[in-house]
Amino acid sequence: MKEIIRGNIIDAPALGELRCLPGGCLVLEDGVIREVLETLPEGAELPVTDYGDCLILQSFADMHLHGPQYPLLGTCMDVPLLEWLNRYAFPTESRFADPDYAREVYAMLAAELVANGTTRVVMFSSLHTEGTWLLMEALERAGVTGYVGKVNMDRNGSPVLQETTEQSKRETLRWLEGCGRFSRIRPILTPRFTPSCTDELMAWLGELAGERGLYVQSHLSENTNELAWVSQLHPDCQRYWETYAKYGLWKDHTVMAHCVYSDGTERRAMRDANVLAVHCPDSNTNVCSGIAPVRRMLEEGVWVALGSDIAGGDHLPMLEVMSSAVRTSKVRYMTAGDAPLSAAEAYYLGTTAGHRYFGAGDGFAVGDRLHAVVVDDSTLGPKGEMELPLRLERAIYRAKREQITAVYSDGRKIKGR
């Protein structure tokens, strides 16, 4: 079916670049973008959904978050990372051994993602196989697409949250077998982070990733205490990234969250391997990790996108993560002199940079299935002429789920039907 969606289109074809089409049109065929037009074609006979003066933005890609930490969201922000994991995150995740609990919580999480316009994710589950399937199911049912990983952790967990090496391998295989039934959510291998996985498990996961062509996600250089720990565990590795590389886990499309303390060498290794660095500004501040050198990564050609990192991060809505990225970049500017991010750059990082992970083109690209949100910003300030780039900036700082009146994911309308 062919149709037209019309409104004030703003997309981000490149970092810091906006394409603004007031009253522009997206011509869709079965959810796939066929044309992007500046005006409604005269005499067009296609059905038109006219969003009037609303903004039509790219939907958001949340490239790092922990589904089973959703119950913690906005609480327990009183200790730094490693203590926070042991005291709060691990006990919370352990509850997802209970399928009923998992079903209830994941339905809420999926609904909140959709309400806030997040249509693509790369997400950590817990180590529970059934719980992970339930998370994938909840996301797929709500219309969210992307990758979810059953966590592997066979050391340094807690009495309530840890596997043996054998269990971890066996359950990973069992989990992968059960993933065939999902069409829009795919599995991704997920060693929690180097301190959580024995060398044996890391090596096994690296081989599995290679054999089956699976992507990998983990954490990197988030916190100075973590760095010291990793170098104790792997005295042969000069830098944290090498602990993944030596087991075949550092490769094209590997997702590494944080990268706060990645130095020039580690950043070069990211760029060279096409590893995605996920910047999680809220989390880095909340658990006192540090202020990531995002500008430097971008200048050096590292692939960077954004993550909410709930529940270390406190903002699930990616618009709020974007404004946090700008704010945090200003802290970096004040403390290290790196040029701050603009709102347009944050928009690119929260949209195009993430969507590329899934094979999408830049901005609203012809040939891609539509991922978009419609923002009614009429209540965000007094009436009056305002240029589209300013309206985008205001939406990033001010719009909440109530302003997001429609969401399209993978070519289908999943909010505002």
290 touches a second copy (CB under 8 A): yes
What is the enclosing helix (H) or strand (E) of 408?
A: strand 404-409
Q: Please report where in the chains the tokens 């012809």 appear, as a residue.
A: 366
Q: Does 393 bind a second copy (CB under 8 A)?
A: yes
Q: For residue 186, give every residue at least 6 positions away whose Cβ sits within 8 Å of its Cβ, in sequence order, or none.
A: 146, 147, 148, 179
Member of 300, 333, 361, 369 binding a second copy (CB under 8 A) = 333
* CB distance 314 to 73 below 8 Å: yes
CB nearer to a second copy: give 30 or 83: 83
Query: Is residue 104 close enough to count as binding a second copy by CB under 8 A?
Result: yes
The one among 15, 32, 77, 97 contacting a second copy by CB under 8 A = 77
Mutual angle of helices 199-212 and 165-177, in 10-degree steps: 20
Q: Which of 276, 203, 213 is nearest to 245 (CA)?
A: 203
Q: 80: exposed, middle or buried (C-beta count within 10 Å: 0-12, 13-18, 19+)?
A: middle
Task: Choose, by CB under 8 A, the member of 176, 179, 397, 405 that binds a second copy.
Answer: 397
The site for a second copy, by CB under 8 A, has a size of 45
Closer CB to a second copy, 68 or 187, in the complex: 68
Least separation, in Å, of the C-beta of 356 and a second copy?
A: 26
Name which of 233 and 380 has its Cβ closer to a second copy: 380
Does position 340 interact with a second copy (CB under 8 A)? The reply is: yes
405 contacts a second copy (rule: CB under 8 A)? no
CA distance 237 to 243: 6
CB-nearer residue toward a second copy: 34 or 87: 87
The Cα–Cα gap between 37 and 175 comes to 44
Give 188 or 346: the residue with its C-beta nearer to a second copy: 346
Note the Cα 269 to chain centre separation in Å. Answer: 21
For the chain, give percent helix, strand, coil, nearest 5.
Answer: 40, 25, 35
Of the candidates 3, 44, 7, the residue with the CA atom closest to the CA atom of residue 24:
7
Provide the minimum distance between the beta carbon of 82 and a second copy in the complex, in angstroms, as a whole number. Answer: 15
Binding mask 250-289 for a second copy (x = CB under 8 A): --------------------------------x--xx-x-
CA 91 to CA 78: how far, in whole Å?
A: 16
Q: Can you tell me which of 4, 326, 374, 375 binds a second copy, judged by CB under 8 A?
A: 326
Residue 214 lies near a second copy (rule: CB under 8 A): no
Binding site for a second copy (CB under 8 A): 70-71, 73-78, 101, 104-105, 108, 282, 285-286, 288, 290-291, 314, 323, 326-327, 330-331, 333-335, 340, 342-343, 380-384, 386, 390, 393-398, 400, 402
